[in-house]
Amino acid sequence: MAGHEPATRESGYAAHRAGVQRLLESYRAIPPGAVVRLAKKTSNLFRARAAPDAPGLDVSGLGQVIAVDPRARTADVAGMTTYEDLVAATLPYGLAPLVVPQLKTITLGGAVTGLGIESTSFRNGLPHESVLEMDILTGSGEIVTATPTGEHADLFHGFPNSYGTLGYSVRLKIELEPVLPYVELRHVRFHDLRELEAELDRIVVERRFDGEAVDYLDGVVFSANESYLTLGRQTDEPGPVSDYTGMDIFYRSLQHADGVTRDRLTIHDYLWRWDTDWFWCSRAFGAQNPKIRRFWPKSRRRSSFYWKLVALDRKYHIDDRRQARKGNPPQERVVQDIEVPVQHTADFVEWFLREIPIEPIWLCPLRLRALGDAPAADGARPWPLYPLEPQRTYVNVGFWSAVPTERDQPEGAANRAIEKIVSAFDGHKSLYSDSYYDEAEFAALYGGDIYTELKTRYDPDQRLLNLYSKAVQRK
């Protein structure tokens, strides 16, 4: 096998060069003055998008893992490669990306430019923090290599949370970490959200619970008096494992009366434990009904298929019509991930449970990586477009559903209320879904003058949408 490695690596780089050539040719084919966009049929964004008025960038040749270096624990990866394909390429070496977002079809480039998170984020930060270098196609049509230091260090640090408004990643070199074959889980029940908050804060710092190491950490809130932390520990000890790709549903396995329950998964099934039922969102399609689930093909128990159903609903307003037949008002989509400092976790969740009729909700702690765990010399935060503070623990709260609209309320009333309370708690909101900030508030939260300077340097002719237009005005 070792004898074939160089040829495999060379073929990977040759295929990548051909894909880059097609990308550049498609850029040159876009008429001057037309907005440059990706020509892709699928997306993990929940923002409405205007239909493109010109051909898009051809990224069809940028969906492969170019090479894995098991000795250096790095991988060269094309920007449109899905994490499903990336994990399939690294696990045979006993390696995985430092952060693997929950859904199989999220791309590496998408997670870096749009942020991603998972249960390793309390120790490994966010996906962009394990990037060593990036080749980026800028708005001016030039491909530049951005690294933490050097000529394009400003773009390297400003790229996360730019959502393709400064350019598109063509190739990323990332760090990998060793993983063991199994993950042993402990589901710890809490009856009080403030007790959960305190324990979560302690585990993030100590990385242990009840005498055992904690390698993975997230949680689920079902109600104010029923919440759980799930603690994962890597192990190579053989033994029985659970399977949540069939009739059993992972998030339901967390629930128990009191104390701690245990479970085991293969590392592969752990990384994709949320994808089978799109966390719990598959229930909206009936896929959790045992009578339906029995006949639902396994190949379609995955987030990418549910996303197609969402797209159909959005196109034909199926659910709004169903609600209208029942005499109910249209629904407001409330699909968001927010981050608040850990000490405001219970405050935010208690407010949310009172004001927004959605459950369950997901909790995922995060902290910038130790390598960047100190302020820059000038006091600036290290990632200016999503400026989390070093040496501070945050908790991501994810909620994905819809609520009834109310008469005489502005569009997006629930989302606007969430934005207001998140800001009050010194938090931030991811921009993959609907946003309603005014322009000044948005600039203060997401880069301000730094973003303007980057936009001027790397997209001087404004070929790409700006971040406010894309995230809030939804052009």
Provide block-wise average pLDDT over 10 residues at a time, the chain (475 residues). 52 93 95 84 57 77 96 97 98 98 96 96 97 97 95 96 96 98 98 98 97 98 98 96 97 97 98 97 94 95 91 79 84 95 98 96 93 47 89 96 91 96 96 94 95 97 94 79
* Cis status, amide bond into 360, omega within 30 of 0: yes
- pTM recorded for the entire structure: 0.93
Q: Rounded to an integer, what distance in angstroms lies between the CA atom of residue 308 and that of residue 43?
A: 10
Q: Find out whether 131 and 112 touch, Cβ atoms under 8 Å.
A: yes
Domain with CATH 3.30.70 in the chain: 317-436
Domain 2-178 fold is 3.30.465
Domain with CATH 3.30.465.10 in the chain: 2-178
Q: Rounded to an integer, what distance in angstroms lies between the CA atom of residue 106 and that of residue 339?
A: 20
Q: What class does CATH assign to 317-436?
A: alpha beta
User: For residue 405, which of 313, 279, 319, 314 has the smallest C-alpha distance?
Assistant: 319
Q: Rounded to an integer, what distance in angstroms lies between the CA atom of residue 180 and that of residue 234?
A: 6
What are the tens digits of pLDDT across the range 189-198? 999 999 999 9
What are the tens digits of pLDDT across the range 196-209? 999 999 999 999 99
Contacts of 451 (CB under 8 A, 6+ apart): 158, 162, 384, 385, 443, 467
- Name residue 261's beta-bridge partners: 187
Listed in order, strand segments (DSSP E) in 65-202 are: 65-69, 74-78, 95-97, 131-138, 143-146, 167-178, 182-190
What are the tens digits of pLDDT across the range 228-287? 999 999 999 999 999 999 999 999 999 999 999 999 999 999 999 999 999 999 999 999
